[in-house]
Amino acid sequence: MDRVLGLVGSSCGGLDTRFRTELAEPAAARGWRLAITLTPTASRWLDSAGELERLRELTDLPVRSVSRLPGEPRPHPDPAYFLFAPASANSVAKLALGLADNQALTVLGDALGEPGVTIAVGYQVRDARFAHPAWQGHLAALGGAGVRLNRLDHGGPWTGVLDELDA
Ligand SMILES: Cc1cc2nc3c(=O)[nH]c(=O)nc-3n(C[C@H](O)[C@H](O)[C@H](O)COP(=O)(O)O)c2cc1C
C-alpha cells in the first residue's frame, strides 16, 4: 500500500540538523512515502545547511515550499496522514486561525477537518508562549478539530512524535 505522509516543517531551533535525522529518515524507515512541504523560512534554513538535497534523496516526490503555478499539475498526492513538526508558535497560530499565506499552511489548512485525514502536530515553543492570551485558544481549536497535539522536547529526540500516526 502506498502510505503517503505529508511531512511539514517550520523554522524552529534544531530544524537544520534534526528534521532529517529525527523525523524524515525515521518516517521513511517506517515505510512512509514522504510528501515534504516547508515554510519559506524553514526552506531557507535547510537550504543554507545543505539539507534540502539530502531530503530530496529520501523521497520520489518534490520537496515543496512554494505554490505551483496555475495550470501546473499538483506535485503531491493528497495524503491521509500529516505530521507537522517542528511546528513554530507562529505557524500553529496561523493554522488555528485558518491563515494560509504559504504552501505549508495551505496544505495543512486544506486537510484540516477533512474526513479520514489524520494530522499530528509536534510544536516547539518557549514556556512563555503559554502566557500569551491566544495560545491556549489556538491549541483548543486544533484539538477540537481532531489534531493530535504534542509539545516537542527541546532536548530529547523528536522521533517519538511519529508514533502519533499509528495511534
Ligand atoms: C535560531 C532560531 C530558532 C528559533 N526557534 C524557534 C522555536 O523553536 N519555536 C518557535 O516557535 N519559533 C522559533 N523561532 C522563531 C521563528 O523562526 C519565527 O517566528 C518565524 O517567523 C516562524 O516562521 P514559520 O512558522 O513560517 O517557519 C526561531 C528563530 C530563530 C532565528
Which pLDDT score, from 0 to 100, does residue 84 have?
98
Q: Which atom of ligand 1 is nearest to the CA of 94?
A: 25
Give a yes or no: residue 1 inside a domain.
no
In a domain, 2, yes or no: no
CA of 88 to the centre of ligand 1 (A): 6
Question: Does 33 reside within a domain?
Answer: yes
Question: CA-to-CA distance for 80 and 91, rounded, in angstroms?
Answer: 21
Name the residue with the closest Cα to ligand 1, atom 23: 11
* pTM for the model: 0.97
Per-residue model confidence (pLDDT) at position 166: 87
Does the pLDDT at position 133 exceed 90?
yes
Q: Identify the weakest region by mean pLDDT among 21-30, 95-104, 146-155.
A: 146-155
Our measurement of the distance from residue 112's CA atom to the centroid of its chain's CA atoms, rounded to an integer in Å, reads 12
Residue 156's pLDDT band (boundaries 50, 70, 90)? confident
Answer yes or no: is 110 within a domain: yes
Number of domains in the chain: 1
Report the atom number in ligand 1 closest to the C-alpha of 129: 11
Using pLDDT thresholds of 50, 70 and 90, give the confidence band for residue 117: very high
Nearest CA to ligand 1 atom 28: 12
Question: What's the average model confidence in pLDDT over 72-87?
Answer: 98
Backbone phi and psi for residue 37, each to the nearest 5 degrees, phi listed first:
-130, 135
> Ligand 1 pocket by C-beta < 6 Å: which residues?
10-13, 39, 41-42, 88-91, 124-125
Q: Give residue 32's domain range.
A: 8-68+76-165
pLDDT of res. 167: 67
Which CATH number fits the domain that encloses residue 24?
A: 3.40.50.1950
Q: Is residue 3 part of a domain?
A: no
Q: What average pLDDT does the structure give for the chain?
A: 96
Helices (H), 15-82: 15-18, 25-29, 40-48, 51-56
